[in-house]
Amino acid sequence: MGQRKRIVIVGGVAGGASAAAKARRVSEKAEIVLFERGSDISFANCGLPYHVGGIIQDRSRLLVQSPEAMRQRFAIDVRTNSEVTRIDRGRKAVVVHDRAKDKQYEQPYDALILSPGAEPVRPPIPGADHKEVFTLRSLTDMDAIKAVVDADSLKAAVVVGGGYIGLEMAEVLVHRGLAVSLVELESQVMGPIDPEMAAPLHEHLRLKGVDLCLGSSVTAIEDDNGLPAVRLSTGRVIPCGLVILAVGVRPEVKLAAEAGLTIGQRKGIVVDDHMRTSDPDIYAVGDAVEVQDFVGGFPAMIPLAGPANRQGRIAAINALGGDAVYERTQGTAICKVFDLAVGMTGLSEKALKRAGLAYEKIYVHPASHAGYYPGAMQMSLKLLFDPKNGKILGAQCVGAAGVDKRIDVLAVALRAGMTAYDLEKLELAYAPPFGSAKDPVNYAGFVAANVLRKEARICHAADVANPGSKQLVLDVRTASEVRQGTIPGAIQISLDELRSRLGEFPKDKEVLAFCQVGLRGYLACRILSQSGIACRNLSGGYKTYCHAMGQISDTPAAQREVMDDTGLIVQGAPPA
């Protein structure tokens, strides 16, 4: 492998630190210089909220690699408190401001790797410069927030933004005993997932005492005797002692743009599949680069630590003459929201619609493990797939247990180009405490493959909410379940009565059948269709319908155990 001598890396954390360590492993002869404008080159920024909340008590556990250890183990010239202010591409050198000594100098390079990251968006809200208003990106930010939270006088906080950081901060602040209001401009939290999959999160947040303000914006942050008071677009004013702005991040591309490197339509640094920018001697990695979406192939900004680590390794290999390829980003992610987890991989339904890609979707609500073993909890799993060949396009899952396992399996399946038919055949680990003989991933595969083979026809919430004149909505649940709520206009005939009442169905109408989670509706359609009655089953049943219609209980309840692998609630408890 051919080797360049001088590798200069701008920025640490996931992308830059990974690039530096990999470059040294590739070449003992290379001169490697890592510049970091702060004092920490590698820290667990995903862990910052949990130190504020006291869950990670020892601050030092967040320090992944110290400058001293990096110098000693990898023989890397680490220069902290050193900001690269300009790239001179003609002379192949960077201009550096040594903050400690307040002096400027040049550092030449043979290959340059940029890892500037992304900065939190600080919207132009009047009063956003109040001393008790914070963003969270660095250890310094974390320390400042924690100092406020540790003050005995603090009683309430407002978190603005319902993404990863916003949800995590809301949880840890409640954990610290604060009254927390979460303000989100959109009608849902966790924007990357689809609205109906966010509905369980909304109910759970309210269950945990979070004052959830959806569809609201902050119009001003006012001063109330030295403390902030947040004014919303609804006119409501929320007094508090702390405001966290978590409305998103924007790529830090100023250095690259001023050097004339190509900036893309998503405002990130454009790179090829070798992480090379428009200058062949300059690479870029991490949150500042535009990647290609794995499913859609379009430019995307996906600020995740895993991809940043891999990109850093690839850039280092190629900077030293290698030929490593980064094969797009599929956006696999997970977030803890109190007792729930929400995970995703691939494209959402929203993204598929925007991209104009054909898709079908199914929902299942299985148990996290065998229903007869104590502690099984219901999860909600959505699978998106190509209606022609069944190729997996995306998946989302929400639940109290087992979400990470299922999303990881589906992420691998998506990466491997597998189909719903393949999910049917997967042989996954099973013992009653861990899973079911028919794992939720298998279960999703069965349902999707039945649709693809036309063994089952499905409908969705919009269909049963607005049936046509030649359609009949049928609830096949028990009378006690129906009393808990049903779809307006539906007739009720339980599944066990269906065969004896087939004569009541007009032959000129299509039946849209539903149950609680989808299984009994499917069985009803098998009975009806083999009796000459056209039938479609509501995928995901009444539970998905309620999520899609935004029907959330005013008195949210904690999750309960389920009685079998399909996701039915234990006997004697009201249906979920």
Residues tagged active-site: 46
Instruction: In whole angstroms, give the CA distance from residue 244 to residue 255.
Output: 27
Sign of the Cα pseudo-torsion (22, 26, 28, 31, in order): negative
CA-based nearest residue to 248, from 186, 306, 299, 204: 186
Helix (H) or strand (E) holding 164: helix 164-175
Q: What is the per-residue burial (b if ≥16 Cβ within 10 Å, else e) of 165-180?
A: bbbbbbbbbbbbebeb
Q: Of 270, 324, 279, which Cα lies nearest the Cα of 301?
A: 270
Task: Write down the number of H helices and E strands in the chain.
Answer: 16, 33
Q: Any idea of the CA torsion for 230, 235, 236, 237, to the nearest 10 degrees?
A: 30
Return d(Cα 428, Cα 572) in angstroms, integer: 32
Across the strands, what pairs with 239? 229
Helix (H) or strand (E) holding 459: strand 458-459
What is the rounded CA–CA span in Å between residue 440 and residue 404?
12
Closest CA to 390 of 349, 447, 438, 328: 447
Q: How many residues does the chain have?
A: 576
Q: How far apart are CA 354 and CA 130, in angstroms?
A: 38
Closest CA to 527 of 474, 459, 491: 474
Q: Where are the beta strands (DSSP E) in 28-178?
A: 31-35, 42-43, 63-65, 77-79, 82-88, 93-98, 103-108, 111-114, 118-120, 133-134, 156-160
Q: What whole-number distance in Å separates Cα of residue 172 and Cα of residue 228?
A: 20
Look up residue 512 and give its two tokens.
């849209």
Instruction: Look up residue 502 and give its DSSP letter.
Output: G
Other CB atoms within a 10 A radius of the CB of residue 54 amount to: 13
In 3D space, the residue among 210, 213, 199, 211 whose CA is nearest the CA of residue 576 turns out to be 199
Question: Which is it for the CA torsion 64, 290, 292, 404, positive or negative?
Answer: positive
